[in-house]
Amino acid sequence: TEIRQIIADTIAATGAQGVAQMGAVMNAVRAKVTGRADLAAVSQWVKAALGA
């Protein structure tokens, strides 16, 4: 989905490599998807994408 692509792009842009950087990724993603997606679901997708 578009949201998952935003997550992937944000992870690549931030260089995040694990859950320790999840906060930085979520802050960037939140700015792009607020009002368009459930942030609880987005958080789960970010966590999964970071390998948690």
Walk along the chain (52 residues) and give the pLDDT tens digit of each residue.
Answer: 899 999 999 999 999 999 999 999 999 999 999 999 999 999 999 999 999 7
Number of other CB atoms surrounding residue 39 within 10 Å: 14
Q: What is the pLDDT of residue 16?
A: 95
User: The tokens of 15 are what?
Assistant: 């260089």
What pTM, to 2 d.p., does this model score? Answer: 0.90
- The domain tally of the chain equals 1
The pLDDT value given to residue 24 = 96
Alpha-carbon gap, residue 6 to 10, rounded angstroms = 6
DSSP 8-state secondary structure symbol assigned to residue 21: G
SS (H, E, C) 5-37: HHHHHHHHHHCCCCHHHHHHHHHHHHHHHCCCC
Domain of 21? 2-49
pLDDT at residue 39, as a whole number = 95
- Indicate which CATH number applies to the domain containing 27: 1.10.10.410
Q: What pLDDT is stored for residue 52 in this prediction?
A: 73
Secondary structure of residue 16 in the 3-state scheme: coil
